[in-house]
Amino acid sequence: MYIANERRYDNMVYNRCGASGLLLPAVSLGLWHNFGSNANFDNMMDICQTAFDLGITHFDLANNYGPIPGAAEENFGRILKKSLGVYRDELVISTKAGYDMWPGPYGNWGSKKYLVASLDQSLRRMGLDYVDIFYHHRPDPETPLEETARALDGIVRSGKALYVGISNYDKEQTIAIARLFKEMGTPFIINQRKYSMFVRDIEKDGLKEYAARNGIGIITFSPLAQGLLTNRYLNGIPENSRIRTDGRFLKEEAVNEETLSKVRALNEIARERGQSLAQMALAWILRDGDITSVLIGASRASQVIDNAGMMDNMQFGEEERERIEQILAGK
């Protein structure tokens, strides 16, 4: 029988999510990959238990995570039933809806019908009465924004979610829906966006600064740039790399000499800091307090342990910051 580590809260930092009362761990676990129908269940359970033992209380899912769509939620539901469920009141569980889930005109985008139906399905798959955060996964160019906002507001009032969030909304889209949520009194607390040393769109469009000034949390995904910001590609593309067989998320042409020279230079700074490159890249995202939490993915428990090790050194001196910026600028 699984019994959680009694000291699980000793080393993790918990950040307030926007202007809400909810605290999220600096490191959260995303179940985007490696929790589908083609994954080993015992390994999945080991990953989740290891994460919780390290103080990672937030588990992030979506209706379409798999393969097949829905499989990650089903597997996480099994994990809750077998071990983690007894700690439900210590867990922050989030899921999303916004991408294609079932045939016909009602299984996609941002209508009230889709969002309500999708969350009901997600709750059944996970065996839950409610989720802590329910996200609209992507903006819908066709559905009126007010309908999407009212659907999320109604979901909270129904008791099926405690808070709402949005994902993949840019600054202007965030401002527009935030105004609606404010009018309705909806507990809108967070936006989930891609962010890493190599992908800095939330800085360019002003979302990062806007969210910090207006009490909106930000949680970031793909913080390691699909593995580029690890030691995996320091010497080029390994022969057994998934890039050669599955280039959906990281293209082979992205692993070029210009990028690798940056990775090697960043790795040298990480070595000087006593960190792995992945640990430094994660800590860098949280460097100024504007980001609430960083989502990691893992294919084995040892990766969770290594990534959580970034907690040992989260501070950056001014010289380190300048060196990193110069490297990223190609200077």
Segment 27-71, tens digit of pLDDT:
999 999 999 999 999 999 999 999 999 999 999 999 999 999 999
Q: What is the mean pLDDT of the chain?
A: 95
For residue 88, give its domain range.
Answer: 14-231+277-315
- pLDDT above 70: percentage of residues in the chain: 95
Residues 281-286, mean pLDDT to the nearest whole number: 98
Residues 262-285, mean pLDDT to the nearest whole number: 97
For residue 260, count other CB atoms closer than 10 A to its CB.
Answer: 16
- Alpha-carbon separation of residue 273 from 18, 278, 328, 330 (angstroms): 30, 12, 18, 21
**Integer Cα distance of 59 and 87 in angstroms:** 13
- Please state the domain count of the chain: 1
**Integer Cα distance of 167 and 98 in angstroms:** 9
7, part of any domain: no
Which CATH number is 155's domain given? 3.20.20.100
47, part of any domain: yes
Segment 250-268, tens digit of pLDDT:
666 677 889 999 999 999 9
Residues 175-203, mean pLDDT to the nearest whole number: 98
Compute the radius of gyration of the chain from its Cα atoms: 19
* pLDDT at position 246: 58
331, part of any domain: no
166, part of any domain: yes
The string of DSSP codes covering 303-318 is HHHHHHGGGG-----H
323, part of any domain: no
- Alpha-carbon separation of residue 269 from 235, 274, 277 (angstroms): 17, 9, 8
* pLDDT at position 240: 61
* pLDDT at position 241: 64
2, part of any domain: no
Segment 147-161, tens digit of pLDDT:
999 999 999 999 999
Indicate if the pLDDT at residue 298 is higher than 80. Answer: yes
123, part of any domain: yes
* pLDDT at position 232: 87
Indicate if the pLDDT at residue 304 is higher than 90. Answer: yes
209, part of any domain: yes
3-state secondary structure 128-140: CCCEEEEEECCCC
Count Cβ atoms within 10 A of the Cβ of residue 118 and give its class: 0-12 exposed, 13-18 middle, 19 or more buried.
buried
- pLDDT above 90: percentage of residues in the chain: 90
132: alpha, beta or left, given left = phi > 0 and alpha = psi -120 to 50? alpha
Segment 286-296, tens digit of pLDDT:
999 999 999 99
